[in-house]
Amino acid sequence: MRAKLTVAAILAAVAIPVVAQPADNGRAAFRAIYEEMVEIDSSPTTGSCTKVVRAAEVRLKAAGFTAADYQVIIPPDRPDDGNIVAKIKAANPTKKGVLLMGHIDVVDARREDWERDPFTLFEENGYFYGRGTADMKGQAAVWLDLMLRLKQEAGFKPSRDVVLALTCGEETSNRINGIDYILKNHKQWFDVAFALNEGAGGLLSDDGKALVLQIQAGEKIHQVYELEVTNPGGHSSRPTPDNAIYQLMAATKKVEAVSFPVQVTPVNREYFRITGPILGGEIGKAMTAVAKNPDDQAALAVLLADPTYNASLHTTCVATQLDAGHAPNALPQRAKTTLSCRVMQGTTPEQVKETLDKAIGDANVKVSIVRRREGSTAPPLTDEIMGPVKAQAAKMWPGVPVAPIMIAGATDGRFLMNAGIPTYGLSGMFSKSGETNAHGLNEKLRVQSLYEGRDFLEAVVRAYVK
C-alpha cells in the first residue's frame, strides 16, 4: 500500500516560491495533482466530491489564495456534493473574465470488474489508467495546476479575471449539479465573458497520427425517460395474458426500432467538410458528400452505420436499466425500463416523449420524463475564441486543422449557455475514436495526450488573458 501525503507534506510540495522555475516546467507537481484527484473516489455510490474539493483547497491556500480569492460551496444537507471556485483578479480589467470549468465527480466503478483498482492511478505502456483519467480529472487537474502557477508567477498581470470552478454532479442525476447550484446561489463567481469546458479533444488515426483538433460548439441533452407497466399481479401458478413484464418487453422492443429524423446541423456539416478529406475511405467520402449535400441518403446511410456518427446525426434512445417484479413466485405488479435519450438541439423532451408514445402504441405503458432537462444552443465561434486556438494548434500540431464538433454526450455547459455565457469544449488531448472508454471498464488516457493538452490549454488561456 502506498503512503498517502499528509496535509503538511502537500503544503510543502506545492508551496513553490515565485522565483522558482522547475526544470520540468512543473510537470511532476502537475502529475501529483492528477494522481491525487484520480485516487480520491468521487463516484456517487462510494465516493465524495467534497474530498477532492478539500484537497484542492489545501493546494490553493499553499499557492497564496486567500479567503477572498476562493470559496468552497457545499449545498445544504449534501455533504459529499462539494464544489470549489477560485479567482485571480485582474488589477485593471479591460474585459470580462474567462471561466475554467471542470466536473470532479466520476461514474461508479466496481473493482471486481476492472483489471486494476479504478481508484489508483496506473501508468503503463504509454497510458494512464483509472476512473476519471479521461473524463475528466485530467483537464480538472490541468485547470487547478494552471491556477496555482499563475498565482505564484511574478509579473503575471492578466487583462481579465481568471476563474476556476471544480464542480460536482455532472455525471449523475442523484446529486446537486454544482454549476446549476452556483448559478442560482453564487452567480457573482460567474461574471465572465465565456467558459472553457470539456467536450472535445483531438482525433488520432489508427497509427497514432494527429488528424483533427476539435472544439465543441454544441451538445445534445441527456434526457432520461421511463417506461412503466403496472398490474394487480397475483399468484404465479395462475398466469394471465396481461403480464407486466411481457408488456414492458414488447414496448422496449418497439423503442429499439425507433429511428429519429436525421438533423445535419451547421456544426456537423462543417466538421464533415474539414474531416472528410483527411479521413478518406468510405467514412471520409460519406462525410464529404454530406457536407456538400445534407440530403445524400447513400452517404448518410454510411455514417448512420457507424456508432460515433450515428450519435451525432439524430436523437437516440437506448434502454439502460430494467426493474421488474417483487417475488419469484408472484406475477409482476410493476415493470420498468429506463431509457437514456440523447436529444438533438432544437428538439424538446416533450417531442421525444410524443414519438415514443406513438411508437409504443399501448395505453398500458406509461412513458415519463425523468427530471426534465433544458437544451441549449451552439455558441458562436468568434475570432476572439478561435484565433488563439488555431495559433497554438499550428505551433504544436502543424498542418492539423481545427474543426467544430457537436458532441453526442452532454456537459454542464448547457447551464452556462442558458445563462448567456458561451461555453466551449476544448482540451487538446488526442485519442483514437472510442479509445479512452470513458464511463466504461479500464478507462484510460494517453500520457502524451495529457501533457500535450496541459501545454496547449495553458497557451490558449494565456492568450485570452494577455
Q: Which helix (H) or strand (E) holds 337?
A: strand 334-343
What is the 3 state secondary structure string of 13-28? HHCCCCCCCCCCCCHH
> 350: closest CA among 375, 328, 327, 332?
375
DSSP string of 346-413, one letter each residue: T--HHHHHHHHHHHH--TTSEEEEES------PPP--HHHHHHHHHHHHHHSTTPPEEEEEESS--TH
**Cβ contact 407:424 at 8 Å:** no
Cα 258 to chain centroid distance, Å, stands at 26
Q: Can you give the pLDDT at residue 444?
A: 98
DSSP string of 420-443, one letter each residue: T--EEE----EE-TT-S-TTSTT-
Q: Can you give the pLDDT at residue 454?
A: 98
Q: Can you give the pLDDT at residue 376?
A: 87
Condensed to tens digits (0 to 9), the pLDDT of residues 264-281 reads 999 999 999 999 999 999
Going through 3-158 in order, the beta strands assigned E by DSSP cover 70-73, 83-88, 97-103, 122-124, 127-129
> 271: closest CA among 183, 409, 403, 395?
403
Give the number of other Cβ atoms within 10 Å of residue 204's Cβ: 18
Helix (H, G, I), strand (E, B) or coil at 76: coil
User: What distance in Å separates the CA atoms of residue 272 and residue 290, rounded to the nearest whole number?
Assistant: 7
Give the long-range contacts of residues 77-81, CB within 8 A, separation 24 or more: 78/175, 78/176, 79/48, 79/50, 80/47, 80/48, 80/49, 80/50, 80/168, 81/49, 81/50, 81/168, 81/169, 81/175, 81/176, 81/178
Domains and CATH numbers, the chain: 7-199+411-465 (3.40.630.10), 221-370 (3.30.70.360)
Helix (H, G, I), strand (E, B) or coil at 106: coil
DSSP string of 162-193, one letter each residue: EEEEEES-SS-SSS--HHHHHHHH-GGGG-EE
Q: Can you give the pLDDT at residue 19?
A: 40
Helix (H, G, I), strand (E, B) or coil at 253: helix
State how beta strands 402-407 and 210-219 pair.
parallel
Q: Can you give the pLDDT at residue 217?
A: 94
Instruction: Give the sheet arrangement for strand 366-370, strand by strand.
Output: 316-324, 334-343, 221-230, 366-370
Helix (H, G, I), strand (E, B) or coil at 306: coil
**Cβ contact 351:225 at 8 Å:** no
Cell of 371: 427530471
Contacts of 76 (CB under 8 A, 6+ apart): none
Cα 289 to chain centroid distance, Å, stands at 30
- Running DSSP on this structure, what letter comes out for residue 205? P
Cell of 249: 418487453
pLDDT values of the chain reduced to their tens digit, one per residue, 466 residues: 333 444 344 334 444 334 445 678 999 999 999 999 999 999 999 999 999 999 999 999 999 999 999 999 999 999 999 999 999 999 999 999 999 999 999 999 999 999 999 999 999 999 999 999 999 999 999 999 999 999 999 999 999 999 999 999 999 878 999 999 999 999 999 999 999 999 899 999 999 999 999 999 999 999 999 999 999 999 999 999 999 999 999 999 999 999 999 999 999 999 999 999 999 999 999 999 999 999 999 999 999 999 999 999 999 999 999 999 999 999 999 999 999 999 999 999 999 999 999 999 999 999 999 989 988 889 999 999 999 999 999 999 999 999 999 998 889 999 999 999 999 999 999 999 889 999 999 999 999 999 999 999 999 999 999 9
Q: Which helix (H) or strand (E) holds 142?
A: helix 137-152
pTM (2 decimals)?
Answer: 0.88
What's the mean pLDDT when you consider all of the chain?
94
User: What distance in Å separates the CA atoms of residue 118 and residue 172, rounded to the nearest whole number?
Assistant: 18
CA distance to 90, 226, 229, 317, 340, per residue, from 372 (Å): 38, 12, 21, 15, 12
**Cβ contact 388:257 at 8 Å:** no
State how beta strands 192-197 and 234-235 pair.
unpaired
User: What distance in Å separates the CA atoms of residue 96 and residue 275, rounded to the nearest whole number?
Assistant: 34
